[in-house]
Amino acid sequence: MKVKGQHYRTIWFAPPVVFLIEQNLLPFSFQIVKCADFQATCRAIKNMTVRGAGAIGAAAGFAMAQALLAKVDPLKAKKEIEATRPTAQNLFYAAERVFQAADPVACAQKIADEDAASCQRIGELGSQLIIDGMRIETHCNAGWLAFVDYGTALAPIYAARDQGKNVFVYVDETRPRGQGARLTAWELFNEKIPHAIIPDNAGASLMSQGKVDMVIVGADRIAANGDVANKIGTLEKALAAHEYGIPFYVAAPTATIDLQCASGQDIPIEERSEKEVTHQSGINEEGQNSTILVCSPGSTAYNPAFDVTPAKYITKIITERGVVAAPAALFL
């Protein structure tokens, strides 16, 4: 991705330091964070300085390499890394692979490079599904920032634009963290792709009016039967798309597929802080970053970070190996 004309990856490794973009400050401030040891990288995953399936997978791989370089007990470090976030399969895939590697630094770097290459290929394959003039809705952020580079749900859109196709994107706000309004919109603005931020609960209405031609979302874990865990609210979009006959695609690298997970019922769903629901952060009139209470004082909140969309509501899954109906078919 490019920011002010300079190319960046979301995360990169100059042993023993991990560098990453501070996503909690976007789109108001662009800063690079340095994580000097694996504990710091773990904190960055946990507090969502880095987020998105592929990006936290790369972070987990780099963290595992940091721990091994520092001669930290490997099993203890691996458990600490895997405890940072429970839903995204890429995190567990990367930590295990580096844990087993003869050269952990080279392995961690290879995982990051593979993630970028897979996303680029997803863009190439997914762009073939996009027709000039399409209006596409997406949910949360599955662009550059969610992966090492290129992204998944947004990669076909970027590739289609590069092919000269005109595309318009409806960007779900994606409460409670607003990652659509903050991150996806920021990416699309930087890429000069026409788009509009819409309330999360506007998608079905737009679909009913014939204003959405396709939905593309990312994934945090895909079960063997094709059920998909993704940002909370994805299921609602899939149900609405199914009702109105709109193609609903999931874009994800094969590293997101968990063949040991038979169905979506087996995917652990992370529950996050109530404060993400009850409070909102942004820039105030004085240009300062501030957090305010936006809900009834004293009320409690329930904040599941993900939901599961059954395979029957998914048109196809776009991976770097092909566009398929069920992920297990890729490995037969």
**5 pLDDT above the threshold of 90:** no
With CA atoms as reference, report the closest residue to 26 among 218, 196, 180, 172: 180
Taking the C-alpha atoms of residue 11 and residue 147, their distance in angstroms, rounded to an integer, is 8
Token reading at 138 = 């997406």
329 pLDDT band, cuts 50/70/90, is confident
Q: Crossing angle, helix 74-82 and helix 89-100, to 10 degrees?
A: 170
Label residue 306 by pLDDT band (50, 70, 90).
very high
DSSP letter assigned to residue 15: T
Q: Note the CATH architecture for domain 129-270+303-331.
A: 3-Layer(aba) Sandwich (3.40)
Give Cβ neighbours of residue 20 (< 8 Å, ≥ 6 apart): 10, 11, 12, 32, 33, 35, 44, 49, 50, 55, 59
DSSP codes, 202-269: GHHHHHHTT--SEEEE--SEEETTS-EEEETTHHHHHHHHHHTT--EEEE--GGGEETT--SGGGS--
- Asked if the model's pLDDT at residue 326 lies above 90, the reply is no
- What CATH architecture is 2-118? Up-down Bundle (1.20)
User: What is the rounded CA–CA span in Å between residue 305 and residue 98?
Assistant: 27
Instruction: Quickly state the pLDDT bin for 328 (edges 50, 70, 90).
Output: confident
| Number of other residues whose CB lies within 10 A of the CB of residue 125 | 18
Mean pLDDT confidence for 18-37 = 97
Q: Percentage of the chain with pLDDT > 70?
A: 100
- Residues 199/236, Cβ–Cβ less than 8 Å: no
Q: What are the residue numbers of the active site?
A: 220
- Predicted confidence (pLDDT) per residue in 139-189, tens digit: 999 999 999 999 999 999 999 999 999 999 999 999 999 999 999 999 999
- How does the average pLDDT of the chain come out, rounded? 96
pLDDT at 276: 96
CB 230 within 8 A of CB 218: yes
Residue ranges per domain, the chain? 2-118, 129-270+303-331, 273-301
Residue 113 pLDDT: 98
The predicted pLDDT at position 4 comes to 84
Task: Name the least confident of 194-203, 267-276, 321-330.
Answer: 321-330
**pLDDT digits 0-9 by tens, 55-111:** 999 999 999 999 999 999 999 999 999 999 999 999 999 999 999 999 999 999 999
Question: pLDDT of 267-285, one tens digit each?
Answer: 999 999 999 999 999 999 8
Spatial separation of the C-alpha atoms in residues 23 and 50, rounded to whole Å = 6
